[in-house]
Chain A
Amino acid sequence: MNVLSERNEMNQSSSISAPDENPMVRFSGVTKRYGNLTVLDNLDLDVSANEMVSIIGPSGSGKTTVLRMLMTLETIDQGIIYVDGNPLTHMERNGEMVFANERYLRTQRNNIGMVFQQFNLFPHMTALENCIEAPINVLGLKRDEAEQRAIDLLRMVGMLGKKDEHPTRLSGGQQQRVAIARALAMRPKVMLLDEVTSALDPEVIGEVLNVIRALNSEHNLTMLMVTHQMGFAREISDRVCFFYKGKIAEQGTPDQIFNDPQNDRTKQFLSAVLDAN
């Protein structure tokens, strides 16, 4: 059963070698600054449809900012981001590209879903209510339809039995699984996973990773994942990008990055992280 959008039988592994003519996500010369600090420096990054890209790197390297800009939680200073061929950060006005206003953003945001490090479930709503709120009020679904969709998704993440619980009664791992279902209920084309296991106790990380595994193998979603779980990134990704000081210092297949890194920074980072484990 596919509870997500229609299946697309495209081969995923081809996306690294040959440049994609129609990427699902395209960052083109994107720069982000906070005051004098340049968080992202002229970033170019294409992500193909159905590709799973992991973003790794030391803290402060701009990893999370990439996701937050794509979710339109941050504005960008230069460059442009496209999603599914349409400009996301900009819109056309009188033949010129200008920064997108809120109304335009609202036409584009449905393409993108995000799961946060701190879950950010709505505490005053049950698990089910969390999953139907936006489908009903944003997508305009009928209540029955939204509930059916939410129930299918909660079953998929193994949380159907807790659908009437408030988030405070759920463990971190359970909350994060509900958060994944909530994001999927909007049927996004692109899913953003922002350090989704970083706030979890070690013993519940596995249940969340299992859900992501299932999502990746059974459904067609373009995914960008910022993570500190190197083993998981290696196992699941089609491509790994190593960020350093606001730039992609190195990228390639998991095999290339983890077994044969070329960049000194990548080597240092990986040896430091793997030592710590």
Chain B
Amino acid sequence: MSYIDFLFEFSPKLLTGAYITALQMLCASALAILVSLTFGLLRLSKNRLATGFATVYIEFFRGTSLLVQLYWIYYVLPLMGLTLDAFEAGFIAIGLNFGAYGAEIVRGSIQAVPKGQWEAATALNMSPSLRMRRIIIPQTFSILLPPASNLLVELLKATSLVALITVVDLMFVAKQINATTWLSAQTFGTALVIYYVMARFALTPFLRWLEILAARKVGKV
């Protein structure tokens, strides 16, 4: 079977898998962003209980392995009465895990806004919440986006693990095709190229565009 024939026969299936991968990526990113903002801000709170809770969350999810979390959410939670289907368990595990890493980025970027900006806002008698909302947060985007972009590429790659809890994503489809054809080089090679294209020619340019937009917003470009 030539590679061209292989592509004709299996590319529809691989692309369906890639579509599920993209959906996992979108859902997991949305959750991760929500978690990052929540726990990043909690980490900076003056309330000891809030910072403590956020620290435990972040260290717990960063300290254990994503695959372990994935298995735990999919296989152990149902034993405790909470059953999620594979797709939900997949993006929830990834979102919670990457949210812990993202929270540290959010915290770091808020702390990276120059001290003078905080002081100028205080000198204008802004309340802490107004200062955060109108002065600090808008300036964090240009600081936060480069590391957040790297994290999102990592997140895209991490979605391949959901195949292990039976989500029919690109990795899962590749394993299926490999099991029936044993054309391993063609199968996994094509899957790798699809992941590469998604990361390098779709996700990365989009994130670069956002970075430029954010830099323009603070007049850096």
Contacts and interface: CB of A to CB of B under 8 A. Distances in A.
User: CB atoms of A and B under 8 A apart anywhere in the complex?
Assistant: yes
Interface of A: 71-73, 102, 106, 109-110, 112-114, 116, 118, 120-124, 133-134, 137-138, 166-169, 182-183, 186
Interface string B160-191: 00000000000000000000000000000000
A72 B122 contact: yes
Contacts of A133: 124, 134-135
B159 to A, nearest CB: 33
B77 interface: no
Interface string B104-128: 0000000000101101111111111
B217 interface: yes
B219 A123 contact: yes
Nearest to A169: B219
Given A102-B128, A123-B219, A166-B219, A137 B134 contact: yes
Interface of B: 114, 116-117, 119-128, 130, 134-135, 138-139, 217-220
Contacts of B218: 123-124, 166, 168
Contacts of A182: 124
Contacts of A120: 114, 116-117, 119-120
Contact of B124 (A102, A124, A138, A169): A138
B119 A106 contact: no
Given A120-B117, A138-B130, A109 B138 contact: no
A134 B126 contact: yes
Given A73-B119, A113-B123, A124 B219 contact: yes
B125 A124 contact: no
Given A110-B125, A123-B219, A124-B217, 16 more contacts: A73-B122, A106-B127, A109-B122, A114-B123, A116-B119, A118-B116, A120-B114, A120-B117, A121-B120, A124-B139, A124-B219, A138-B127, A167-B219, A168-B218, A168-B220, A169-B219
Contacts, number: 68
A100 to B, nearest CB: 13
B117 A122 contact: yes
Q: Which of B122, B125, B130 has the most CB of A within 10 A?
A: B125
Contacts of B139: 122-124
Contacts of A106: 125, 127
B140 to A, nearest CB: 10
Nearest to A112: B123
B122 A116 contact: no
Nearest to A166: B219
Most chain A Cβ neighbours within 10 Å, of B114, B116, B120, B219: B120
Given A123-B218, A124-B219, A134 B125 contact: yes
Contact of A124 (B119, B128, B138): B138
A112 B117 CA distance: 17
Contacts of A124: 138-139, 217-219
Contacts of A113: 123
B125 A109 contact: yes
Given A120-B116, A124-B139, A138 B219 contact: no
A112 B120 CA distance: 12
Nearest to A185: B124
Contacts of A183: 123-124
A138 B116 CA distance: 19
A116 B134 CA distance: 20
Q: Enumerate the 8 nearest inter-chain pairs by beta-carbon distance, A residue then B residue, closest first.
A: A168-B219, A134-B124, A166-B219, A120-B120, A120-B116, A109-B125, A114-B123, A123-B218
B219 A71 contact: no
A112 B126 CA distance: 13
Contacts of B130: 137-138
